[in-house]
Amino acid sequence: MAPPNQLCLVLVILLSVFLLSSLSTSAIIPKANVSLSIPSSQLVENLCNGKAIQNRRFCLKALSTPEVIAAMDTTQLGTLIMKLGAANAKATLNVYNEIIKKPGSPQSLKALNCCVEAYKYAILSFEMVSSELVEDPESANYDVAVIGLEIANCEKELINAKVQAPRLIAENRFIKYYVSMGYEITSTLELENPNEY
């Protein structure tokens, strides 16, 4: 029979894996009391068909809430996308903060801290971009693109530190989908008002 210390360690590891795999992802795609069969607004359709969109299905599902469907113009839709991106980044930041509390190598801790900083930046940027949409969509477009670069750096650090965390890989992919939606909406706003800036 295994010594009690080894048994406790095995139980802690199994419990940690179970808890991490069962964490809620409700902030990733907002839950709406509507089915996807409700037609999206033309704004949402146009956005989700844009060149920058990395995952059209995700885009349509994430933007299927009544509040988003009711958006009257590109600026309102952009503001809602930025709120969703910020909410997703906050939920993901919580996941990173929980994982950091667990013992790990110095390299993995460094990588996780890099990702924590990237997600803090993403939250602030998504919130800031909301205010830039009307006054300066060109700056908003740049700021959204930089979020993508920060997340790419986070992913690189995780890979270099050999952090094996499928949940984090999925969370990073989701935030990149929001970045692509933000980039597409800010590009659209730039095209709608080319001479104002």
Encode pLDDT of 126-159 as tens digits: 999 988 888 888 999 999 999 999 999 999 999 9
CB neighbour burial string for 178-197, b if at least 16 within 10 angstroms, e if fewer: bbbbbbbbbbbbbeeeeeee
Q: What are phi and psi of 9, to 5 degrees?
A: -60, -45
Encode pLDDT of 10-40 as tens digits: 333 333 333 333 333 444 444 433 333 334 4
- The answer to whether the predicted template modeling score (pTM) of the entire model surpasses 0.85 is no
Whether 77 has a pLDDT exceeding 60, the answer reads: yes
Encode pLDDT of 41-55 as tens digits: 888 999 999 999 999
Instruction: Identify the pLDDT of residue 27.
Output: 43
Whether 194 has a pLDDT exceeding 60, the answer reads: yes
63-92 mean pLDDT = 92
CA distances from 47 to 53, 71, 111 (A): 8, 12, 33
